[in-house]
Amino acid sequence: MMIEMADMAWNAIEHRCERKEFVIEEEEILHLKLENERLKEVLAENLAVLDKISQSCYPLFSASAHNVEALLDAMCPI
């Protein structure tokens, strides 16, 4: 009888520990979901900034590409 009571107590302790681990896992999952949402917002903001920068830099890039092409034509006539 004493062994059965000890076994029941041990099972109760194990169950309690498993429950705590499950709660911790749920909390961790919730934390990760919130962090994921925050990072998505930061990414969207960064993409918007990058888009603005790329639009303002396109004329410079286009002119630079044209200058490089002209320089290559001058250096390496076909």
10-residue mean pLDDT series, the chain (78 residues)? 66 65 78 91 88 72 62 62
Per-residue confidence (pLDDT) for residue 77, from 0 to 100: 58
Residue 9 sits at the vertex; the CA angle it makes with 3 and 14, to the nearest 5 degrees, is: 125
33-52 b/e with 16+ CB inside 10 Å = b? eeeeeeeeeeeeeeeeeeee
Q: What is the pLDDT of residue 35?
A: 94
Residue 76 dihedral angles phi and psi, to the nearest 5°: -130, 70
pLDDT value for 34? 93
- Global pTM value: 0.46
Per-residue pLDDT at 65: 58
Whole-number pLDDT of residue 67: 66
Q: Tell me the C-alpha distance between 18 and 13, whole Å.
A: 9
